[in-house]
């Protein structure tokens, strides 16, 4: 094919294993960056633009002290669970705006055990909101999926199907954290956290890093046998009618969602429809989130999720393999890395070199969706292309 100057491709991809880590988070970031550079066949001094994302206290731009003081512009991003998607978009836009050829993006974190302890004042909310228990996100997720199941007549057992699928994929993936298979019954009968969500239906904060190398135009084909084109990346925030993390009330009007808006924008920009997608990654902070996001992104109809799980539509040989590395449920969520983990997995699948189970049939179109507080979503469409 003929690459245009404003086409951006992923030519290198690497990640660390996710899980508990005793060292510093910037150590993980350095490991991922150096592995991604090796994958692309370049060194740090070849990089002309860099972006780093984390939800922690370290500053990603300080990674240059480890990687090399080359004078390149290095942008730091922090957008909750959407950090990775925003970092990728920033790197893409930086290449195009600066007419540069090569960029590197990295996302990483090393979280302590236990749930995040967010402060209401950091989100412009009074202390009263924390006193209600709603700053504990497990409460929000439970309330949202409970209403969604009711509104669309979905069997709660569908939550168990999502968990079973995640851990089944992870059992084959060398970088996943939790690799022990979990049956539907085990997921449903596990300790209840917030009804209807049990212990096996939530992800956990942990540690990990992911890095990607991007190249613009013809340069990509000089660096990689099968570069993956970033056909589109779209970022959207919440509108009236959206009920998102740390929302203090539910609008009585039409339901909206940044995930709906971002997915539509990404598909439109790439010139495809959800039906064209052959492998996908969706934000599955808990099982209910995957069920909701399947419909919000247009991959299935609302209410059709149960039948799709039962039919094996999202398995490795199904109509649309989803979260083929185990997703957040099995990998955990180092916030800065999770969005880039999604892209890493889809890139590897489209290149035919998946670290876990390879989607058969040489897929060429992938989709990723990430969602973060207090209501922001980033979606990408990725396409494998030859000369």
| Cα separation, 13 vs 36, whole angstroms | 5
- What is the average per-residue pLDDT within 343-370? 97
In degrees and rounded to multiples of 5, residue 250 shows phi and psi of -110, 120
Q: What is the pLDDT of residue 86?
A: 93
Q: What is the pLDDT of residue 286?
A: 96
| Cα separation, 243 vs 385, whole angstroms | 38
Examine the pLDDT at 133 and tell me if it is beyond 90: no
Report which of 315, 303, 316, 320 is spatially closest to residue 365, judged by C-alpha positions.
320
Domain spans, the chain: 8-113+203-384
Q: pLDDT grade, residue 58 (50/70/90)?
A: confident
Q: pLDDT grade, residue 372 (50/70/90)?
A: confident
| Cα separation, 27 vs 22, whole angstroms | 10
Q: What is the pLDDT of residue 193?
A: 94
Least confident of 24-33, 149-158, 238-247: 238-247
Examine the pLDDT at 134 and tell me if it is beyond 70: yes
- What is the average per-residue pLDDT within 116-129? 82
CB 262 within 8 A of CB 378: yes
Q: What is the pLDDT of residue 45?
A: 98
> Does 8-113+203-384 carry CATH code 3.40.47.10?
yes
Contacts of 33 by beta carbon, 8 Å cutoff, 6+ apart:
14, 44, 63, 67, 104, 106, 211
Contacts of 146 by beta carbon, 8 Å cutoff, 6+ apart:
195, 196
Least confident of 69-83, 116-130, 169-183, 300-314: 116-130
Examine the pLDDT at 364 and tell me if it is beyond 50: yes
321 vs 251 pLDDT, higher one: 321
Examine the pLDDT at 30 and tell me if it is beyond 50: yes
Examine the pLDDT at 160 and tell me if it is beyond 70: yes
- What is the average per-residue pLDDT within 159-168? 98
Contacts of 173 by beta carbon, 8 Å cutoff, 6+ apart:
179, 325, 326, 330, 355, 356, 357
**Cβ-based burial of 237 (10 A; exposed 0-12, middle 13-18, buried ≥19):** middle
The pTM score is: 0.95
Q: pLDDT grade, residue 311 (50/70/90)?
A: very high
How far is the CA of 343 from the CAs of 10, 245, 372, in angstroms?
A: 10, 23, 16
What single-letter DSSP state applies at residue 81? B
In degrees and rounded to multiples of 5, residue 216 shows phi and psi of -105, 135
CB 116 within 8 A of CB 205: yes
Report which of 377, 122, 109 is spatially closest to residue 246, judged by C-alpha positions.
122
Q: What is the pLDDT of residue 386?
A: 59
Q: What is the pLDDT of residue 387?
A: 46
CB 230 within 8 A of CB 8: yes
Asked if the bond preceding 196 is cis, omega within 30° of 0, the reply is yes
Q: What is the pLDDT of residue 56?
A: 82
On average, the pLDDT of the chain sits at 93
Q: pLDDT grade, residue 123 (50/70/90)?
A: confident
Q: What is the pLDDT of residue 2?
A: 59
Strand partners, 108: 209
Report which of 225, 279, 281, 270 is spatially closest to residue 11, judged by C-alpha positions.
225
Q: What is the 3-state secondary structure (H, E, C) of 17-58?
A: CCECCCCCHHHHHHHHHHHHHHHHCCCHHHCCEEEEECCCCC
Q: What whole-number percentage of the chain has pLDDT above 90? A: 79
Least confident of 128-137, 191-200, 323-332, 362-371: 128-137
Examine the pLDDT at 172 and tell me if it is beyond 70: yes
Report which of 198, 193, 191 is spatially closest to residue 156, judged by C-alpha positions.
198
Q: Three-class SS of residue 1?
A: coil
């Amino acid at each position: 094919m003929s690459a245009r100057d404003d086409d951006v491709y992923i030519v290198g991809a690497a990640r660390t294993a996710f899980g508990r880590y005793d060292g510093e988070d910037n150590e993980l970031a350095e490991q991922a960056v150096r592995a991604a550079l090796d994958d692309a066949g370049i060194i740090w001094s070849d990089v002309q633009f860099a972006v780093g994302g984390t939800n922690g206290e370290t500053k990603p731009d300080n990674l240059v002290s480890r990687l090399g003081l080359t004078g390149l512009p290095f942008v730091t991003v922090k957008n909750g669970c959407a950090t990775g998607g925003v970092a990728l978009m920033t790197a893409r836009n930086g290449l195009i705006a600066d007419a540069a050829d090569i960029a590197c993006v990295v996302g990483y974190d090393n979280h302590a055990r236990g749930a995040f302890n967010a402060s209401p004042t950091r989100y412009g909310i009074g202390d009263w909101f924390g006193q209600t228990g709603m700053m504990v996100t497990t409460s929000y997720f439970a309330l949202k999926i409970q209403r969604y199941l009711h509104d669309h007549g979905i069997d709660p057992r569908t939550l168990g199907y999502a968990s079973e699928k995640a851990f089944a994929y992870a059992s084959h993936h060398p970088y996943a954290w939790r690799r022990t298979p979990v049956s539907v019954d085990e997921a449903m009968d596990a300790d209840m956290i917030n009804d209807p969500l049990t212990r096996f239906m939530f992800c956990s904060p942990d540690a990990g890093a992911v890095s990607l190398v991007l190249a613009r135009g013809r340069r990509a084909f000089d660096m990689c046998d099968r570069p993956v084109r970033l056909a589109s990346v779209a970022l959207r925030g919440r509108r009236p009618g959206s009920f998102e993390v740390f929302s203090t009330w539910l609008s009585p009007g039409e339901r909206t969602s940044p995930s709906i808006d971002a997915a539509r924008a990404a598909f439109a920009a790439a010139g495809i429809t959800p039906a064209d997608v052959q492998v996908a990654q969706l934000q599955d902070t808990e099982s209910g989130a995957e069920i909701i996001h399947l419909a919000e992104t247009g991959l299935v109809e609302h209410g059709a999720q149960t039948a799709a799980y039962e039919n094996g539509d999202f398995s490795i040989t199904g109509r649309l393999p989803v979260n083929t590395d185990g997703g957040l449920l099995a990998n955990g969520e180092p916030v800065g890395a999770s969005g880039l983990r999604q892209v890493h997995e889809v890139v590897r699948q489209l290149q035919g070199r998946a670290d876990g189970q390879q989607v058969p049939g040489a897929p060429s179109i992938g989709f990723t969706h990430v969602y973060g507080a207090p209501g922001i979503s980033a979606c990408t469409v990725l396409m494998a292309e030859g000369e």
